[in-house]
Amino acid sequence: MAIKPADNEAFYREVDEELRREQLTSFWTRYGTIVVVGVILLLAAIAGVIYWQHRQDVKAGEKGEALTAAFADIQAGRTDGIAARMDEIAADAGPGYRVAALLTKADVAIQTGDDAAALAIFKQIAADTDLPQPYRDLALIRQTTLEFDTLAPAAVIERLDALAKPGSPWFGSAGEMVALAHLKQNKPEAAAPIFAAMVKDETVPESIRSRAVQMAGALGVDAVPRDDAAPAAATKDDAE
């Protein structure tokens, strides 16, 4: 007897479902253990990442509390043992806490007259390629400031020239030292434009800009900001 079209559809459907069951059974027989193990490993990895992030947050909080407590002791004049505490904070810390602890250790060394220890720390930070560049530049500035009087002017210029440019976040500090180094070389024509540029740069700290105005004026460059020059001009007109 011939099979009707409707019966054919039911037959093919049953065959297709049976084939899928066999394929699924065969798949789980061959790979079921691997899939289960893979899922377990994935869940374990996710759990591990979550735990690691939690531990990092906890550790960061502990480092922050320790650093705050150390700052309070330093302000109160209790500096005994600070170096060891800063080393402990810097160990296994993120870049921010690490640099803060090391710079604090250097500052305490300077306060106690141990410039050599401070210089070693600044050099360590400046040479650490694992740290973000701004931290390394800051350490280089601090290092150069501390040994400025003993460095050859050419060494200061070579070291800080890239930072002594308008737009650099360290333009004030680096620019001032580079300009003074040019003066030590008896090159006022090289120093004057740097002082003048510092006066015009509003990102430069006010204290450094004030010194730059005086230095530029002494070198024959009119670098007085317009806001300061305007009242003087008005007074002159009134007198006439």
- The pLDDT value recorded for residue 106 is 92
Residue ending a domain, among 131, 146, 161, is: 146
Burial tier of 53 (Cβ tally within 10 Å: 0-12, 13-18, 19+): exposed
Report if residue 238 sits inside a domain: no
**Do 128 and 203 share a domain, yes or no?**
no
Residues 196 and 214 sit within 8 Å (Cβ to Cβ): no
Domain membership of residue 190 as a residue range: 148-227
**Do 52 and 132 share a domain, yes or no?**
yes
Segment (H or E) for 113: none
> Please, how many CA atoms are within 13 Å of residue 177, restricted to the half-sphere of its CB?
29
Residue ending a domain, among 146, 174, 208, is: 146
| Rounded CA Rg of the chain | 34
Report if residue 14 sits inside a domain: no
Of 139, 144, 180, nearest in space to 160 by CA: 144
**Do 97 and 116 share a domain, yes or no?**
yes
Per-residue tokens: 158: 């070579």
**Do 83 and 154 share a domain, yes or no?**
no
Q: Within the chain, where are the H helices?
A: 5-75, 82-90, 95-111, 115-126, 133-146, 153-160, 171-184, 188-200, 206-218, 226-239
**Do 142 and 160 share a domain, yes or no?**
no
**Do 128 and 161 share a domain, yes or no?**
no
pLDDT of the chain, 240 residues: tens digit per residue:
454 555 556 655 665 666 666 666 665 566 555 555 555 555 555 555 454 454 545 455 666 777 777 777 777 778 788 888 888 888 877 888 888 889 889 989 998 899 999 999 999 999 999 899 999 999 999 999 999 999 999 999 999 999 999 999 999 999 999 999 999 999 999 999 999 999 999 999 999 999 999 999 999 887 666 554 444 444 444 444
| Total number of domains in the chain | 2
**Do 63 and 113 share a domain, yes or no?**
yes
Is the whole-model pTM more than 0.85?
Answer: no
Report if residue 2 sits inside a domain: no
